Amino acid sequence: MPTTQAAIRRAHRVLSADRHRFAADVLRGLLAEPKSLPCKYFYDARGSRLFDEICGLDEYYPTRTELAITGRYADDMADAIGERVALVEYGSGSSVKTRLLLDALSRPVAYIPVDISGEHLEAASRRLASDYPGIDVAPAAADFTKPFDLPELDRTPSRTVVYFPGSTIGNFEHAEAVALLSSTARVAGADGGLLVGFDLAKTPSVVHAAYNDRLGVTAEFNKNLLVRINRELEGDLPLECFEHVADYVVERGRVEIGLRCTEAIEASIAEERVAFVADEVIRTEYSHKYTEAAFGRLLHESGFELRQVWTDAKQWFAVAYAGVA
């Protein structure tokens, strides 16, 4: 078994510079014990399309529930955000909920979508720029979990508000969530704010079905990460040897998602050999479920002050507005 650092150095020599970071993260995760892969790499062009498909599934309640919350309370959210803002959206995707918010905002100066999938980002940004000619649409192809620079704007906004819809914040363990939200407070800056979606704890059967849909789209989305590794990192992972698993572990307050290897195999990735044992699970994602009180504590620990929360009638999902403390 190669050492992790030696494998990463060799990958740097055999791959182009733009794939080196991907290779380093993949090898670091697959040579660790237990194995894991960063969920941010789900979102290549195909992964982004599959996720859009997931959002329309009957079982997947978060997207339609948050969309309904945003549709009902968009004016209240806009009042909390204020006038002439620069809206920075993390993980912008197809920007469906964003349009509801932009329509409600008073004289927004700029919209800055931030997404790791550059192709998907550019397509969505072009559509928004065409539909909102009075707003400076300035996309940033970046990993928002790491430091990045906001693009220069044509006009100076009154303040910056980060929009973080979906339940992506739940993908991070506590320390990681605090680090991300703390950096978000720095992006927003003085008098800035955060509008963030988060999933609420609820009946386990509802949660389980959302991550194990009958059509298998979520499984395909999960396995697409292996497809991407084979395509971009010269891998030969046998896809038929991996199956999607997603279990709601109530005592930990999270869904634990992964890919189980069904038999002992050895595969090549970036010219490195990686061994897998039967029933070994590669952790690909967590999805934490919160109470409102717990999420408020998380925001406070990260440098924000919780100011308002909107939820649906079933108390399945929530959107919170917080100001930089």
pLDDT digits (tens, 9 = 90+) for 195-233: 999 999 999 999 999 999 999 999 999 999 999 999 999
User: Region 273-277: what's the mean pLDDT?
Assistant: 97
pLDDT of residue 119: 72
Q: In this structure, how many other beta carbons lie within 10 angstroms of the beta carbon of residue 182? A: 13
205: amino acid identity, one letter: S
DSSP E strands in the chain: the ranges are: 85-90, 110-115, 136-137, 140-141, 159-164, 193-199, 242-249, 254-261, 265-269, 272-276, 281-288, 304-311, 317-324
Is residue 9 pLDDT above 90, yes or no? Answer: no
CA dihedral 174, 141, 232, 49 (to 10 degrees): 80
pLDDT of residue 115: 85
307: amino acid identity, one letter: R
Q: How much helix, strand and coil, in percent to the nearest 5, is found in the chain?
A: 45, 25, 30
User: Which residue bears the tokens 């989305």?
Assistant: 221
Q: Is the dihedral of CA 287, 101, 112, 156 positive or negative?
A: negative
Planar angle of CA 63, 45, 273, nearest 5 degrees: 115
